[in-house]
Structures are given as C-alpha cells and as structure tokens.
Amino acid sequence: MLAVAIGLAGASIASAQSVETGFLNRTVLLAGIEYRYQVYVPRDFRRSMTWPVILALHGGGSYGDDGLSQTDGGFAGAIRQHVDRFPALVVFPQSHADGTPGWQTKGGEAALAAVDKTIAEFNGDKSRVYLTGLSAGGNGSWYLAYHHPERFAALVVVCGFISEFRGKTSGVAYPPIAPASAPDPYAAVAKVVARLPIWIFHGDADQSVSVEESRHMFAALKAIGANVQYTELPGVGHNAWTQAYDRADLVVWMLKQRRP
C-alpha cells in the first residue's frame, strides 16, 4: 500500500509540473478589450528554470484579431524550421486592424502586457527580455525600445523605419517616432536606445521600406558609440526577415545579452 501511495503521489507531482508546449493561444485584456496572442513554449520547458523571453512583432499584413496570422512565417516560421535553436519563450502578439499605427498605440501596450503575463505564467527572466520585429513590427520595435528602453536586454530590427510612413499593405499612417522638434530624428532615437545591444537587418532592394531608414539609424548609433551591428542583404527585397531570422548566430547573439 505504501508503494502505491508513493506512486500516486509521484504521478500527481509530475502532472502538476507538466505544461503544454509549442504555440499556445492566449489573450490579454486592455481597458476591457481583448487582444489575442500566441506564446511559444519550448518542448524542454521546466518550471524550475527561468527562461529568456522574446517579443516578436508582426508586420502590417498581419493586423487582425484571429490570434493566428501573426505566426505565419517571420520569427515563428524560423522556430518551426529550426526548433532546437530557440530555447526561449516567444511572445507573438497581434495588433488589431483598427486603422491605428499598431504598436505605437494600444497594440504596443497589449504586447507589453502579454510579455508580463508570459513572464508570470512561465517563469520568464525579466533581465533577459528581447525585442524584435519586421517591417511595421520593425517600426514598433524602434518605438517600444524608444519609450521603454529599460524593459529590454537587446533589440533586433528587420526592415524597420522611424520616419513618417504609410503602410503599403495596410494603408495605415505611421507618425514619426522622434518628436517633431528633433533636428535629427535618427540621432534623437539613437540617443535613447543606445544602451541596448542592437542588430539591424535590411535588404538593399526593398521597395516597401527604404533601406536608407536602417542606414541612417546605424550611422546615428555608431556615431555615439552604441553596441550596434548592421547587416545589409544585397539583392533582397522587403522580406529580409526570411534570411535574418534563419541565421543561427542571431539567436545565439540575442540570448547572450542580459539587462543589468
């Protein structure tokens, strides 16, 4: 009887420690409005460990409320192709298709709330939260890093922009990130985010977001001695994220960073 009791107790403990892994559906409420997101949980997840957290922002083609399309391709696609490269929790929020510039407004607030909820639910490491985004999500990455630099340990921006812009797919109007009073908007953004390790990617044949956006940001960051690297992809158009996120060294570099 004692052996049976011990066996049942062990099974109960194992059940309590187990957790579903893979891409999980989640929601967060912001001012009574529901925002759906997905969180990727590694298959070797253990609650006894703290886990790095990556916030991955989608582009303008994935605005909506289905909670799914933001994981079509991009960073999620790289995880599916190379699952062993990503020993981290990855948060994939979805900004509503409400005509607003997504991550610069309530979508960004909901994304940060999803990160907080993920940290609490899956024992995330607050000192190892990383931010990345592509296209409109690249703009969102610059925006969130500019307004909340203390939250992140590193920043990866793919074909992003900081200037005033109208989305080619969504038609959304994006205000400039830097204040209108700034004589050099790139320098103004660089000054705030300079303490973060930053890696920028852009294709030089991008017909949607000018490569000059990334060139100017890289130059502004280098000018003040920031820890920044820039990879310009020759002959690559707007989908620079395919090559950027396929790099094993990118994830290794990212997960080495830690916020003081």
188-222: per-residue pLDDT in tens?
Answer: 999 999 999 999 999 999 999 999 999 999 999 99
Spatial separation of the C-alpha atoms in residues 30 and 137, rounded to whole Å: 20
Domain ranges of the chain: 20-256
Q: For position 132, what pLDDT does the model report?
A: 98
Cβ neighbours for 136, distance < 8 A, ≥ 6 positions apart: 57, 58, 59, 60, 101, 102, 103, 167, 170, 172, 174
Q: Which residue has the tokens 């409400």?
A: 98
Whether residue 64 has pLDDT greater than 90 = yes
How far from the centroid of its chain's Cα atoms is residue 176's Cα? 20
Cβ within 8 Å of residue 208, ≥6 positions away: 135, 159, 168, 237, 238
DSSP class of residue 151 equals G
By percentage, how much of the chain surpasses pLDDT 70? 93
Residue with tokens 């038609």: 171
The topology (CATH level 3) of 20-256 is Rossmann fold (3.40.50)
Q: How far is CA 54 from the centre of its chain?
A: 6
> CA–CA separation, 244 vs 156, rounded Å?
10
pLDDT of res. 17: 53
How are beta strands 89-93 and 33-41 bridged, if at all? antiparallel
Q: In the predicted model, what is the mean pLDDT of the chain? A: 93
Lowest-confidence pick of 12-16, 94-98, 111-115, 256-260: 12-16
Which one, of 19, 75, 11, 23, lies nearest residue 45 by Cα? 19
The mean per-residue pLDDT over the stretch 228-234 comes to 98
Confidence band for 168, pLDDT divided at 50, 70 and 90: confident
Q: Which residues pair with 203 in a beta bridge?
A: 233
Residue 170 pLDDT class (50, 70, 90 cuts): confident
